[in-house]
Structure 1
């Protein structure tokens, strides 16, 4: 459709004609929309005209069609100026039934309507989709949204709409996530107020159907229960993404109770399964991201489950959630791509949990670094978790290899000797250099004295293990064994000639060790002071 004709017809058309005209435009452009620079000003004018129509009293079906047009146009970042204004954002907020902080009149503080027709509900959904696009693509709209306190309207909608339709709840959460991600000052404000974190926690409780068996203990999911539905999974992920932004800077003691509640819900989420395996992995990824933000002392909620029982060997703690984290880590390693975003968060989480919780460290070490038996294979060769992590210690991405090395270092209780035992000095040199421990010793963290016994196989082979490679090497043949005496003499003379040549060209210089332990030219180290030769001569 020619945009000039569309604009001219919009000026004189009534509600029904506007709806017909825009519906045809949407049909032609919904899938084949192109960003023609020549039509940029016309598309911007169309945005303005559609906003004018939304300000008029038109039927819900016409409102929906207008919002669909704006949603299509909002894909183009260059035409959003008319929408990215106070009036534009407030118009969309009114269509979405959001009580933004600066909306005047009876809109302010209006309760969520309990009954909406299907047509009215579709208008709300389209308005939320429009807002989502506009907020994502326009920095100006992001600032306007902060100014009119749109986030407070979103929170009010989530609080009032406990049984809201799926798409309404989904896009409300998505816009809150976008604002908290794109406007750091808003995220900090919402975190300090505390209500948004609490609200998102309640959204997770509602969506997951959480029931509590203790202060920080969620009832075990029924093994026979159906997997988490796809729609619930989508809302959970949007809530987790927003929660991640609001917990980047964890608070103090006064927020510890709230964070422990979140940890308990996240543990419950780790134990759930969705209808598709890839969706389960995705929601677990978001769960791990949020767990990484929470204070480390809260991690004891993951294992301290008296009602659900535990493992006697690890202080009676329940290690089911930790095993899920380990399984997730190995899946991400095996995937072989996107290690920085996909693998480093779970490595960091397991590292910090192991550093501060003895039972977690002991369990993780038993799975990742079991007692050594095979000492003839290089540490990086094989299919065990240890082999995979050692290979990552030489990864091209600095963040990946440091995360893998730190994880293994903590499992070894930050002992240089133990780390070299499991990885070889060559692999460990990088992290030891960063920590100033190339000469041996321990890190700064104090660890309990766990029993750490070596296997008989390791004890027998230990004297023959190459400390650099971390395994027993096959003895190399001596090249001189097959030489005659004349060949040996020839090679010795050849070596002496080369050394003399290099010394004469000052490319090498014989050095010795002085009494103070420093290196110096050989002639200086051989010089003996005169007084030492004549000591005691006065008494002759």
Structure 2
């Protein structure tokens, strides 16, 4: 847009303004960077559009003006030059986010302008520090939250406008951290948003497919806002109101998991579950009601919500490939669901017991390695060796909790080789010792198959050791000595090049490098075979 166009926008008629802006908008529907503006031109344009949007005689051009601003606000480069206080104020007016317009619904002919203004604000607040400062003020946040809460009443905003309100609140809550305490404590946003979630979930179950998709989008945005509001809260010294918020969040998550079929909604519910603290996890389990459809009974409790999360994890792991096989590669999206299950199992004993029966039942297949197969145990064991540390650690933490923090039991189900990296990072590295008996309880009783092959299971692989042919069979002593010497030379070469480094398990349970292998070996031999202390001769008194 050149200076002549800006001059026409400033002094031309409504028709001239619409013509130039509509042509620009049509050309740049898919544009996200704009290089045709200089700083002075952008500043001038912002001032002109603020006046045009405020003028009633230019009402017919308001929609195209707002669309222009929405497109330009996609590019944060020099965006501050476009923004001024008058423009921010009139955008708040057109989006009906001022105290004067609080509680009012736009007329039918105004809804298009209001919707476009909401879209402008989402881009503007996301990309502009000035926009963030202006729209994070308490008076704006109060009006926005009041409007969102009013959707529980009979006169509701259209779903598209509800979605845009939630997008704006999400952007404000993530970029303007100071607003979270005000929303949480003063506006009781957690309680209000949870009520809205319940209402929307009910309407989604009975609505048309197109409307259901839009409802799910609104639900996802609300769940993201709820995550922002509580993600940084300390689990200690919570007030009674904050504890109640977490209880409500837990109930809301359980109801959504049971009622929704949307994978996106489930994903955001699970993300929220990673931060709901112990008060929320307790709500995932309810007393068993025989008349409840889809109930998952376990020891007189209904664990349907936990079962849904477990099924979601299984679906996420299906098709995931570790190594060079075909399929979807492991990504960070697995970490939240593993983390949520870990925290729930750590907090609620009945959840841990149920998950163990589903993932780590008594061992029967002792001939295949733990990572081989299609069971949940096999799939999670494969995650222990992926290069993505967040997923590997989450998988290890989960299995460790299921094993009641017992390293030997963990190794029994995973094999030491699979768990070695996780054990090293956690300072629990060390080969299991044969003389140590595993802690047994009623949920970890050994099967006949395991008992029969227990002493032939290789702790490194976690499966019965398959005896192969002796590679040195038929060799003479000279040949054996020759190959041993060659092996020693090859290892020495690799060590000198730095390709490998000798290490041992240190006192902290983590690998530590060794500078002098021979000296270390001598010290270990001394520790294993200490010299007896000389006894003083008895003397007659």
Q: TM above 0.5, one fold?
A: yes
Instruction: Note closer, same or farther for the CA distance 1:156–1:421 as it changes in structure 2 (3 Å cut).
Output: same
Matched position secondary structure for 1:77: coil
- Per-residue CA deviation, residues 150-205 of structure 1 (Å, 9 max, x unaligned), is 22221122123441111211111110000101112222332232522222122212
1:269-284 correspondence to structure 2 within 5 Å:
269-274=256-261, 280-284=262-266
> Is contact 1:311–1:317 with CA below 8 Å preserved after alignment?
no
Match of 2:225 among 227, 232, 242: 242
Structure 1: which 5+ runs fail to align?
100-107, 211-220, 275-279, 442-446
2:283 matched residue in structure 1: 301
Post-superposition offset of 1:535: 6.2
2:354 matched residue in structure 1: 363
Instruction: Supply the distance in 2 between the matched residues of 1:165 and 1:463 (Cα, whole angstroms).
Output: 67
Instruction: Supply the distance in 1 between the matched residues of 2:80 and 2:5 (Cα, whole angstroms).
Output: 20
> Is contact 1:424–1:471 with CA below 8 Å preserved after alignment?
yes
Instruction: Supply the distance in 2 between the matched residues of 1:431 and 1:283 (Cα, whole angstroms).
Output: 31
Match of 1:165 among 158, 161, 164: 158
Kindly report the root-mean-square deviation, in angstroms, between the aligned alpha carbons of the 2 structures. Answer: 3.5
1:120 matched residue in structure 2: 110
Matched position secondary structure for 2:460: coil
Instruction: Supply the distance in 2 between the matched residues of 1:478 and 1:226 (Cα, whole angstroms).
Output: 69
Instruction: Supply the distance in 1 between the matched residues of 2:69 and 2:51 (Cα, whole angstroms).
Output: 12
Report whether the alignment pairs 1:138 with 2:128: yes
Instruction: Note closer, same or farther for the CA distance 1:293–1:84 as it changes in structure 2 (3 Å cut).
Output: farther
1:257 matched residue in structure 2: 244
Post-superposition offset of 1:71: 1.0
Match of 2:410 among 395, 411, 419: 419
Report whether the alignment pairs 1:22 with 2:28: no
> Is contact 2:247–2:279 with CA below 8 Å preserved after alignment?
no
Deviates more, 1:173-182 or 1:160-169: 160-169
1:32-181 correspondence to structure 2 within 5 Å:
35-36=34-35, 39=38, 41-58=40-57, 60-82=59-81, 84-99=83-98, 108-114=99-105, 116-147=106-137, 149-161=139-151, 162=153, 163-181=156-174
1:12 matched residue in structure 2: 11
Instruction: Note closer, same or farther for the CA distance 1:59–1:497 as it changes in structure 2 (3 Å cut).
Output: closer
1:214 matched residue in structure 2: none
Matched position secondary structure for 2:444: coil
Instruction: Note closer, same or farther for the CA distance 1:21–1:435 as it changes in structure 2 (3 Å cut).
Output: closer
Report whether the alignment pairs 1:233 with 2:216: yes
Post-superposition offset of 1:366: 1.4
Post-superposition offset of 1:268: 1.8
Instruction: Supply the distance in 2 between the matched residues of 1:406 and 1:96 (Cα, whole angstroms).
Output: 47
Matched position secondary structure for 1:238: helix
Match of 1:469 among 461, 472, 480: 461
- Per-residue CA deviation, residues 297-334 of structure 1 (Å, 9 max, x unaligned), is 32222221444559797221112111110111122223
Match of 2:377 among 367, 381, 386: 386
2:507 matched residue in structure 1: none
Instruction: Supply the distance in 1 between the matched residues of 2:275 and 2:318 (Cα, whole angstroms).
Output: 25
Report whether the alignment pairs 1:433 with 2:417: no
Instruction: Supply the distance in 1 between the matched residues of 2:252 and 2:55 (Cα, whole angstroms).
Output: 46
Instruction: Supply the distance in 2 between the matched residues of 1:12 and 1:498 (Cα, whole angstroms).
Output: 87
2:309 matched residue in structure 1: 325
- Per-residue CA deviation, residues 68-93 of structure 1 (Å, 9 max, x unaligned), is 11112212212422554433222111
Matched position secondary structure for 1:469: coil
User: Greater Rg, structure 1 or structure 2?
Assistant: 1
Instruction: Note closer, same or farther for the CA distance 1:157–1:338 as it changes in structure 2 (3 Å cut).
Output: farther
Instruction: Note closer, same or farther for the CA distance 1:225–1:376 as it changes in structure 2 (3 Å cut).
Output: farther
Structure 2: which 5+ runs fail to align?
321-327, 434-438, 492-515
Instruction: Supply the distance in 1 between the matched residues of 2:486 and 2:17 (Cα, whole angstroms).
Output: 98
Instruction: Supply the distance in 2 between the matched residues of 1:93 and 1:179 (Cα, whole angstroms).
Output: 14
> Is contact 1:60–1:123 with CA below 8 Å preserved after alignment?
no
Post-superposition offset of 1:479: 4.2
> Is contact 1:297–1:356 with CA below 8 Å preserved after alignment?
no
Instruction: Note closer, same or farther for the CA distance 1:456–1:65 as it changes in structure 2 (3 Å cut).
Output: same
> Is contact 1:84–1:134 with CA below 8 Å preserved after alignment?
no
Instruction: Note closer, same or farther for the CA distance 1:412–1:4 as it changes in structure 2 (3 Å cut).
Output: same
> Is contact 1:422–1:470 with CA below 8 Å preserved after alignment?
yes
Matched position secondary structure for 1:517: helix
Matched position secondary structure for 2:104: coil
> Is contact 1:142–1:179 with CA below 8 Å preserved after alignment?
yes
Matched position secondary structure for 1:91: helix
Instruction: Supply the distance in 2 between the matched residues of 1:392 and 1:11 (Cα, whole angstroms).
Output: 62
Post-superposition offset of 1:271: 2.1
Matched position secondary structure for 1:97: coil
Post-superposition offset of 1:63: 1.5
- Per-residue CA deviation, residues 222-258 of structure 1 (Å, 9 max, x unaligned), is 8x98777111111111111111100113444332223
